[in-house]
Amino acid sequence: MAIYAYALIGLIVGILSRIALPASRSVGLVGSALLGALGGVIGALISSIFAPASVTTRLDTMAIVLAIIVSALVSIGVIIGTRNRRFA
């Protein structure tokens, strides 16, 4: 059940990254939020390598930190990667 909490954390980070970098038109608010949620779940699963029993059953500090970091990297990376490049 804790995996939903990590997805919610990632969802919030994805929305915040969209607000911080609003220049991209191809990834909207919902897309950034979903990318953040995906990053949060991936971050929690990465932390399960280090503490396998605790991640899926309860919230773990290391999993929360990794969920925040990975969700920010995923959502910001996609937002920056999909920007329209204009060369004048």
86 assigned to some structural domain: no
Q: Does residue 71 fall inside a structural domain?
A: yes
pTM for the model: 0.78
35, part of any domain: yes
Number of domains making up the chain: 1
pLDDT truncated to tens, each residue of the chain (88 aa)? Answer: 788 888 888 888 888 887 887 665 667 778 878 888 888 888 888 888 877 766 667 787 888 888 888 888 887 787 777 766 555 4
C-alpha–C-alpha distance, residues 70 and 57, integer Å: 20
The verdict on residue 87 lying in a domain is: no
**Could you tell me the end-to-end alpha-carbon distance of the chain, in angstroms, rounded to an integer?**
51
Range of the domain at 45: 2-81
- Answer yes or no: is 75 within a domain: yes
